[in-house]
Amino acid sequence: MKKIGFIGLGIMGRPMSMNLINAGYPLVAYDIMEGALSEVVRHGAKRGVSPKDVAENSDIIITMLPNSPDVKEVVMGKNGVIEGGKKGKILVDMSSISPLVSREIAKEIEKKGVEMLDAPVSGGEEKAKAGKLAIMVGGKREVFEQCKEILNIMGENVALLGDIGAGQVTKLANQVIVAINIAAVAESLVMAKKVGVNPEEIFQAIKGGLAGSQCLNDKAPRMFKGEYQPGFRMKLHVKDLSNAFETSREFHLAMPLTAQVMEMMQSLLAEGHEEIDHGGIALYYEKLNGVSLKD
């Protein structure tokens, strides 16, 4: 059985690593946050002392980190994964980062003989705990096949989509669609409330039709209650859209709808709403139009 290294034990990484331990895989873990690391060690992981140490003691190294600079530092920085890498090892980066950075990292670690997959996820904390994430993968098919069994423990929809970077491009597409969809839900429901039609009744009437979506079903009830405990934090969605714009600039793409939603999210961050669920886009529309969906 392959030995797994897991670096990054946040809201998503912690349950993902625990699912691998529950499946019987030997796992060495590392995180700069002692509390998170201790929790996973109590669950059965060995304690790593650095990314280099994790890489030296693993066949497959998984990273689940906040953004591109964090992954670059963990992989290519001092005492990084690259220092403990050698031919035959595989790095699976499950962070949501720029596809351009994924390709840069893959090129560097290939010099040590280390293969790489980029494999960002979608589904949030609840699906991470249940092992039902959607996992979007880029890389060589033969490397994917070596890791597929492990990925299937963490996700129920695992797809290889192309070469390195393809997973990240797919995640960016997912995040663009979700952001615009949530904004459309908020805009339409606030419109209904403003003109005097019950938005909850509209939700019930349309959710089974063409306008129905997982975003509508998940976010509209939050909007009606004004409860935005994070399933996916606003600041993280802004990070993902920032990566989408970085990519769009490289390829000279116009993304006008995404740009509008990004401005809405940035205004909410400026008001202190970094940690709320991204469904809190409704707050932008409520303030703009002087109504509340929860009244």
Both tokens assigned to 142: 């033969």
Please say whether the beta carbons of 268 and 235 come within 8 A.
Answer: no
CA distance linking residue 231 with residue 242, whole number of Å:
20
Q: Which of 171, 193, 194, 219 is catalytic?
A: 171
Residue whose C-alpha is closest to residue 56's, from 80, 85, 76: 85
Residue pair 278/234 in contact (Cβ under 8 Å)? The answer is yes
Query: For the purposes of burial, counting CB atoms within 10 Å of the CB of 198, is it exposed (0-12), middle (13-18) or buried (19 or more)?
Result: exposed
For every residue of 123-158, DSSP letters joined together read: SHHHHHHHT-EEEEEBS-HHHHHHHHHHHHHHEEEE
Contacts of 179 (CB under 8 A, 6+ apart): 237, 241, 258, 261, 262, 265, 278, 281
With a CB cutoff of 8 Å and minimum separation 6, the contacts of 7 are 29, 30, 31, 48, 51, 54, 61, 62, 63, 64, 65, 74, 81
Question: Is 171 labeled as catalytic in the residue annotation?
Answer: yes
The kind and range of the H/E element at 264 are helix 256-270
User: Which tokens hold the place of 200?
Assistant: 């909850």
Active site (catalytic) residues: 171
